[in-house]
Amino acid sequence: MPGAYNVVPDDCIRLSDVWKILGVQSVRTVPLWVARLVTSVRWQYFGSPTHVSWLGAQLVDVTRSNAKLRATGWRPQYSTADALRSAL
């Protein structure tokens, strides 16, 4: 099967549900400008693998489709939450 395929589940879950699955009791937040400043300094001076542009990627919704792969007869076996639990 030539071509690129998105191997994604049929469902989605909220980030708050991800935190619950991971067992996080409370999530600390900081202003975006602080996160950008800290991430930028860590990238430039301390060799962090996380570039400041990754913060922007976290602020947008992303929708992926597995329609092309499903057309071949493939079906996901696990939900998003089940896959996350399995990875843990």
Cα radius of gyration (the chain):
17
| 77 within some domain | yes
Decide if 10 is inside a domain: no
| 4 assigned to some structural domain | no
- The pair of three-digit structure tokens given for residue 82, joined into one six-digit string: 């089940």
Range of the domain at 32: 15-87
Q: What is the mean pLDDT of residues 31-60?
A: 92
Q: Is residue 8 part of a domain?
A: no
The number of angstroms, rounded, from the C-alpha of 73 to the middle of its chain's C-alpha atoms is: 26
pLDDT number for residue 85: 93
Domain contains 3: no
Asked whether 11 and 82 are in contact (CB, 8 A), the reply is no
CA distance 44 to 35: 14
Residue 2 located in a structural domain: no
pLDDT band at residue 27 under the 50/70/90 scheme: confident
Q: What is the pLDDT of residue 4?
A: 78
pLDDT band at 23 (very low <50, low <70, confident <90, very high): very high
Within a domain: 7: no
How many domains does the structure of the chain reveal?
1
Contact 39, 55 (CB under 8 A): yes
Is the pLDDT at 28 greater than 90, yes or no? no
What is the mean pLDDT of the segment spanning 24-48? Answer: 93
pLDDT value of position 51: 93
Nearest to 26 by CA among 11, 38, 41, 16: 16
